[in-house]
Amino acid sequence: MNRARIEKFYYLMKLGREFELKAKEHYMLGDIAGFLHLDIGQEAVSVGTMQAFDKGDVFTHYREHVLAIARGMEPKKIMAELFGKKTGISKGKGGSMHLFEPRLNFYGGDAIVAGHLPMAVGCAYARKLQNEKAGVFAIFGDGASNAGAFFESINIASAWKLPLMFFAENNYYAIGTHISWVSPFVDLKEKARNYMPTFTCDGMDVCDVYNTVIKAKEIIENGLGPVFIEAKTYRYEGHSMSDAGKYRSEEEMEIFKRKDPIENLKKKAIKLGLVDEEYFNALDAKVEQVINEAVEFAANSPEPEIEEAFEDVFCKECENAIS
């Protein structure tokens, strides 16, 4: 652990958390609608993976605000998207669940559980063909690990030795269904271990997530086929904003909150004498400024024109051929 890395990890996790707390606030105020899935509690996974897997392509599920921020997407463009504004990353047509930025090789924002995994497999196939060593990263939850698309994907990726990192973000609950009620394995790596090398890491510890991805990435970069990483983590908030949380206990929540990724990184760094409290206070101030600017940008941006609803169905060449 060094100072530069601590700064990056802490800053991005804190940015992610404050972004989402602000999003929650504006959801309550009615500025944000639809489904809003918060990543609060799981920031170590989003930040640790993206810091380690810093090249290549990224396919993700719909709980992706912090992952997008950690990949380099501007918070203000994400906030504007949540507000449904013209300046949003997807022009206000995708919303919280559909953040795309091909320039960052960041391909969604997929809201069909496990639906992005076959696409990640295909992308990995193409990268192998194109001799791109960095490969593809696909993150999914415990819920996705029960879907047919998941099993098809580990099978094909393994059969064709594709450069693909399957990252299972196991927060135990598929909406309100505990993994043990619907799967023979609580440890998701059990599902993949006959297909590819598997790794586990502590999803509440950003350094462990980062180090594990770095280690596993070598296998991909050396052309040895796919890898599977499982991180156990926990979301403090409901599945989405409409979740009453009846399926889990306060005690369980407390166990994980004691392992909070942001607070623990801070404590660990101070204890090791690498930095002091003041150092973090300065980072917090920077985060606050970025978030305030993001909200201001989103609030002051214009709504899309009605015509926008009819754009981007097809590309211009197809539109011309049709008309």
Partner 1 sequence: MLYREALNKAIDECMENDESVVILGEDVGRYGGSYRVTEGLISKYGEKRVIDTPIAELSIVGNAIGMAIAGLRPIAEIMTVNFSLLAMDQIINHASKLRYMSGGKMTIPLVVRMPGGVSRQLAAQHSESYETLYASIPGLIVLTASNATYAYNALKWAIKSNDPVIFLEHELLYPMEMDFKEVKDFNPFRAEIVKEGKDLTILTYLKMRYDVIEAEKELKKAGIDAEIIDLNSLRPLDIDTIAKSIKKTKKCVIVEEDHKTGGMGAEVVSQIMENCFYDLDAPVLRIAGEDVPIPYNRKLELSTIPTPDKIVSKILDWKAKNGI
**Which residues make up the interface to partner 1 (CB under 8 A)?**
57, 59, 88-94, 98, 100-102, 107-110, 112, 115, 117-127, 129-130, 148-149, 152-153, 155-156, 159, 311-315, 317-318, 321-322
Instruction: Determine the Cα–Cα distance for residues 256 and 42; give it in Å rounded to an integer.
Output: 10
Kindly tell me which of 285 and 315 has the beta carbon lying closer to partner 1.
Answer: 315
Kindly tell me which of 120 and 165 has the beta carbon lying closer to partner 1.
Answer: 120
Which amino acid is it at 242? S
Kindly tell me which of 33 and 126 has the beta carbon lying closer to partner 1.
Answer: 126
**Nearest distance in Å: CB 25, partner 1:** 25
Are the CB atoms for 51 and 86 separated by under 8 Å? no
Kindly tell me which of 72 and 245 has the beta carbon lying closer to partner 1.
Answer: 72
**Nearest distance in Å: CB 318, partner 1:** 5
**Nearest distance in Å: CB 158, partner 1:** 11
Kindly tell me which of 129 and 244 has the beta carbon lying closer to partner 1.
Answer: 129
**Nearest distance in Å: CB 72, partner 1:** 15
Instruction: Determine the Cα–Cα distance for residues 263 and 320; give it in Å rounded to an integer.
Output: 55
Instruction: Determine the Cα–Cα distance for residues 210 and 55; give it in Å rounded to an integer.
Output: 14
For 151, the token pair is: 């099993």
Kindly tell me which of 100 and 236 has the beta carbon lying closer to partner 1.
Answer: 100
**Nearest distance in Å: CB 80, partner 1:** 11
**Nearest distance in Å: CB 43, partner 1:** 24
Kindly tell me which of 141 and 163 has the beta carbon lying closer to partner 1.
Answer: 163
**Nearest distance in Å: CB 184, partner 1:** 22
Sign of CA dihedral 309, 314, 317, 320: negative
